[in-house]
Amino acid sequence: MDQVDPRRLIPRTNDLLALPAVRDARTRLNERVIRELVRNVQDQARRGELPPGQVEPALLAAVASRSATSLRPVLNATGVIVHTNLGRAPLSPAAVEALVAASGYVDVELDLADGSRSRRGAGARAALLAACPAAEDALVVNNGAAALVLATTALAAGREVVVSRGELVEIGAGFRLTDLMESTGAKLHEVGTTNRTHLHDYAGALGPDTGCVLKVHPSNFRVDGFTSAVPLHELSRLTADQGVPLVADLGSGLLAHDPHLPDEPDVASALASGADVVIASGDKLLGGPQAGLLLGRKEIITRLARHPLARAVRADKLALAALEATVAGGPPPVVQSLHADEGQLRRRTERLAQALGAPVVAHDGRVGGGGAPGVPLPGWALLLPEGLARQLRAGDPAVLPRVHDGSCLVDLRCVPEPDDHRILDAVRQALASLQAANAGRAG
The footprint of ligand PLP (CB under 6 A) covers 143-145, 148, 169, 171, 177, 216-217, 219, 249, 251, 281, 292, 370
Q: Give the full edge-to-edge strand order of the sheet including 398-404.
A: 74-77, 398-404, 407-410, 377-385, 360-365
Nearest to 120 by CA among 102, 132, 95: 102
Using alpha carbons only, give the angle 194, 180, 109 rounded to the nearest 5 degrees.
130
Q: Say how far apart CA 441 and CA 429 lie, in whole Å.
A: 18
Q: Say how far apart CA 199 and CA 205 lie, in whole Å.
A: 10
Cβ 392 to ligand PLP shortest distance, Å: 27
Termini Cα distance of the chain: 39
Report yes or no: 48 and 9 within 8 Å, Cβ to Cβ: no
Decide whether 37 or 145 has the Cβ nearer to ligand PLP.
145
Decide whether 217 or 348 has the Cβ nearer to ligand PLP.
217
Decide whether 230 or 431 has the Cβ nearer to ligand PLP.
230
| Greatest C-alpha distance within the chain | 102
Report yes or no: 238 and 206 within 8 Å, Cβ to Cβ: yes
Cβ 117 to ligand PLP shortest distance, Å: 28
Cβ 400 to ligand PLP shortest distance, Å: 20
Decide whether 123 or 292 has the Cβ nearer to ligand PLP.
292
The count of other CB atoms within 10 Å of the CB of residue 163 is: 28
Cβ 294 to ligand PLP shortest distance, Å: 12
| Nearest residue to the partner ligand PLP, using Cβ | 144
Decide whether 285 or 300 has the Cβ nearer to ligand PLP.
285
3-state helix, strand, coil in the chain (%, to 5): 45, 20, 35
Q: Say how far apart CA 361 and CA 237 lie, in whole Å.
A: 49
Cβ 314 to ligand PLP shortest distance, Å: 14
Cβ 405 to ligand PLP shortest distance, Å: 28
Task: Classify each residue of 82-109 as buried b or exposed e, where b means 16 or more C-beta atoms within 10 Å of its C-beta.
Answer: bbeebebbbbbebbeebbeebeeeeebe
Decide whether 190 or 411 has the Cβ nearer to ligand PLP.
190
Decide whether 288 or 379 has the Cβ nearer to ligand PLP.
288
Decide whether 137 or 249 has the Cβ nearer to ligand PLP.
249
The count of other CB atoms within 10 Å of the CB of residue 9 is: 12
Cβ 167 to ligand PLP shortest distance, Å: 8
Cβ 172 to ligand PLP shortest distance, Å: 7
The count of other CB atoms within 10 Å of the CB of residue 20 is: 8
